[in-house]
Amino acid sequence: MRLMIAVLSSLFLTNGSLAQRPNIVWIIADDMSANFSCYGETSITTPNVDRLAAKGVKFTNAYVTAPVCSTCRSAFITGMYQTSIGAQHHRSGRGLEKLHLPERVQLVPELLQEVGYYTTLSGWPITGNRLGKSDYNFEWDLSVYDGNDWSKRTSGQPFFAQIMTQGGKLRGDGPDGWRKVADSASNVLGSSTSHEAVHLPPYYPPHPDIIQDWAAYLDAVRLTDVAVGEVVARLEREGVLNNTLVLFMTDHGISHARGKQFLYDEGIHIPLVVRGPEIPAGMIRSDLVEHIDIAALTLAAAGVGVPEWMQARDILASDYVPRQSVFSARDRCDETVDCIRSTRTSKFKYIRNFLPQRPYLQPCAYKDSKQILIALRNWHSQGKLDVIQELLFQETRPPEELYNLHIDPFEVHNVAADPDYSDVLASMRRELAQWMERTSDAGQMPEPVSMYDSDMAVYLEAIKRRREPAQVQTIKGNIQLMKQLAAEGK
């Protein structure tokens, strides 16, 4: 492993020192786990991501530090844990109360601009002049992006392009969202994913709506794969592919009851594939990496020194020491207040619930409106769920969860109270506490009420503009409940 890392590092450092720096392209999909055939998914095939992996490095143990869009993106664009820069609450700092980065912290595109890169942010396909999804939880200057298409750069100028795809969001939220993505898959790929091809994890029941949604999700994966192929094809047509570092990943796992917003692997395990100049083909890395590491990797590939303040690590550096643990955090998501932390090794996952008096499925307008949650609640009320599927419906949570991933990869058998695991529990509890202290985890203090109210005002106004009065009332009720629980010390 160390030899392979050293080889990659020497290649990038040499390339980064040339007058012609490599182009760098990030392709990032929303709401998607590692359900690609090169990662073992058997229900569908994803030839373009598979080809990218075959020509580069596939990281099989990549994890996000936050399982929701804005906090994850705030982290990877700075190379910092979202909890260290005060950006841990989803869509925070959007109202009258603002959030500002610590003085020394800069965005990756800003650092690349300083050495001559043309920086872009777009969706796919690229249309008009509109920038792609940023979703950062802090104030930032739009000038860190020169535009949305690298074709507008000066001749010979290296470019850094971020391409944001809809990913799992293609399947929509409404009762007929699945139909749109199924039709798109049929039009683009000749067929949609059959319900018979779906293999649900054991913590979800075979409810028809859940199966239908999962099939639509797999179609979204297939369409994302097409987009990856289109980006690579454009680079090849323009004759720049051989001098371009191409990175593909997702911003967190699938948007599902136990995925997005939670710290189980369904929410934090992501694909990460990197192809670049002289990278040996077909390399597989099984060591633990965090998604913020793409910031340091990118700067190093460009020949830019990784700032000492940055918490990301250059996972291709010759002196890189593989992580023994990765860390993740979930805090407020929209109106729903929570505080969860986790640390994961290759064998164990430890989760600390700092608000154990609350249920797993707290009221959350965004998630509660999804067909999958409606279906789950329906079968729960009818007594149709088994013991494992009922876990999410507990009225309270254990303060600590511990899973032996070697024998329990789906994380459904909590062994935190098992005496046989007492040493592991104590060790991981200590490790998480030390990480929170070492990284100055801002989530150790409650969010100021003024910030919460400021963000909720913006959130409610956005829902009003969408003409969803019932949703507005639901959110208002949830806000009052959150404040009531806080007043009760829960």
pLDDT tens, position by position, 206-235: 999 999 999 999 999 999 999 999 999 999
pLDDT tens, position by position, 16-71: 444 589 999 999 999 999 999 999 999 999 999 999 999 999 999 999 999 999 99
Q: Which domain holds residue 73?
A: 2-321
457, β-bridge pairs: none
Closest CA to 66 of 463, 285, 342: 342
Q: Is residue 339 situated within a structural domain? A: no
Q: Is residue 451 situated within a structural domain? A: no
- Mean pLDDT for 111-140 is 97
| Rounded Cα distance, 8 and 33, in Å | 26
Lowest mean pLDDT among 12-26, 404-418, 475-489: 12-26
Q: How many domains does the chain have?
A: 1
Closest CA to 120 of 241, 28, 26: 26
Q: Is residue 33 situated within a structural domain? A: yes
Dihedral over Cα of 94, 100, 105, 107: its sign: positive
Q: Is residue 237 situated within a structural domain? A: yes
Contacts of 473 (CB under 8 A, 6+ apart): none
Confidence class for position 109, pLDDT limits 50, 70, 90: very high
Amino acid sitting at position 477: G
Rounded alpha-carbon distances, angstroms, from residue 204 to 210, 485, 486: 8, 29, 31
Q: Is residue 397 situated within a structural domain? A: no
Q: Is residue 84 situated within a structural domain? A: yes
Closest CA to 447 of 168, 63, 97, 65: 97
| Rounded Cα distance, 115 and 40, in Å | 39
pLDDT tens, position by position, 426-462: 999 999 999 999 999 999 999 999 999 999 999 999 9
Confidence class for position 15, pLDDT limits 50, 70, 90: very low
| pLDDT score for 17 | 43
Mean residue pLDDT across the chain: 95
Confidence class for position 173, pLDDT limits 50, 70, 90: confident
Q: Is residue 145 situated within a structural domain? A: yes
pTM given for the model? 0.95
Q: Is residue 127 situated within a structural domain? A: yes
CATH code of the domain containing 132: 3.40.720.10
